[in-house]
Amino acid sequence: MARTQVGIIGAGPAGLLLSYLLHSEGIDAVVIEARSREYVERRVRAGVCEHPTVELLREIGVGARLDAEGLPHHGFSLRFDREDHRIALSELTEKTITVYGQQEIVKDLIAAHEAKGYPVEFEVSDVELHGIEDRPRVTYRDADGVSRVLDCDVIAGCDGFHGVSRPSMPGLKAVDREYPFAWLGVLARTPPSHEELIYTYHERGFALHSMRSPEITRLYLQVPVDEKIEEWSDDRIWSELSARLETAGGFSLSEGPILDKGITPMRSFVAEPMQYGRLFLAGDSAHIVPPTGAKGMNLAVADVRVLSRALVDLLQHGRSELAESYSDTCLRRVWRAEHFSWYMTSMLHIDPDGGDFQRRLQLSQLRYTASSRAAATSLAENYVGLPFG
């Protein structure tokens, strides 16, 4: 039997960042993860880091590679009516976003744990949570199949939507919405065709031009929710992207070998409350947002920032106020991000059941946003990231 102050389930950005923040404040923590280190370091996920996320990573000393390799962006384009309408983030908010893959942040945090000797166990199985009301304990099998027991003061569930933490929590109220479309995402070895992100509204469906580096482009297409990836050849993908990203002035889409492709369903989900007894949820274990607003990873970082301060106050100073208010504090920001993500999604995607009325409303909103400084500022403030709670 082992003992730690905080048992952290999941070695994604939420779990690793929480562990690093706690260790930096003198709190013992152990991270356990079902997948292998290679898997979590290669898992392609979000790529847009909000301004507060970047500032936090720099503040704690794990932002060096982000600063060297990340791509700062001062704006992005809303493309509709076959024209670009730029949202000038820096001009409107004096802040930027940085394109830097979630898996790169995971690599940086794992390397930082390794350098300082902070424990992370990969390839564990049969994870179960016990005594979460007042005497928490985690049981699991390690990578060698040996049964382990980890006694904790607190458990942090950072193990994602399909993890064991949320089902272990009684009395949850879940609010859920599934969208009638999905994203087909591709990673291509080709230089980006534009220096900034392009969010495209098109009668054939939404498209997004993004990037991961000066050599790697990330692109998305709206597809039916029941679409099969086998039906999308590389040639079909490039043809559809070209059609949707076309502009009146001409737009040259850079093509190249497709390294990875897959279809992701879209949903909004919130579980309330985010805490019970000595179990606290953070990140995707508590909430999911559609990716249009680029909020998923950033929302996990915001949760963890609040939770780390609450646990330091609880475990070092015996003060429980921040821990008791953790869920309420986080949910205010969660619901703001949920609304923004829904807003971006509903404004830019073609609803198969929406008809001409909805499409005219969408164009009206897009034209207003592009022509009104107040509307553009509201979008920009939410996009670059609101302050942590």
- Residues classed as catalytic: 73, 199, 291, 295, 383
Structure tokens at 302: 């915001």
Long-range residue pairs from 225-229, CB within 8 A, at least 24 positions apart, any chain? 225/178, 225/179, 225/180, 225/181, 225/182, 225/265, 227/182, 227/184, 227/263, 228/263, 229/184, 229/261, 229/262, 229/263
- Tracing tokens 């606290």 back to the chain, one arrives at 280
CA-atom Rg of the chain in angstroms: 21
Q: Which residues of 209-235 are buried (b: 16+ CB within 10 A; e: fewer)?
A: bbbbbeebbbbbbbbeeebeeeebeee
Cβ–Cβ under 8 Å, residues 227 and 184: yes
Which residue type occupies 277?
G
- C-alpha to C-alpha distance for 76 and 369, rounded to whole angstroms: 13
User: Using the 8-state DSSP alphabet, how is residue 194 labeled?
Assistant: S
The CB density around residue 186, as the number of other CB atoms within 10 Å, is 19
- C-alpha to C-alpha distance for 240 and 243, rounded to whole angstroms: 5
- C-alpha to C-alpha distance for 119 and 222, rounded to whole angstroms: 41
Q: Which phi and psi (to 5°) does residue 104 adopt?
A: -70, -40
The CB density around residue 184, as the number of other CB atoms within 10 Å, is 23
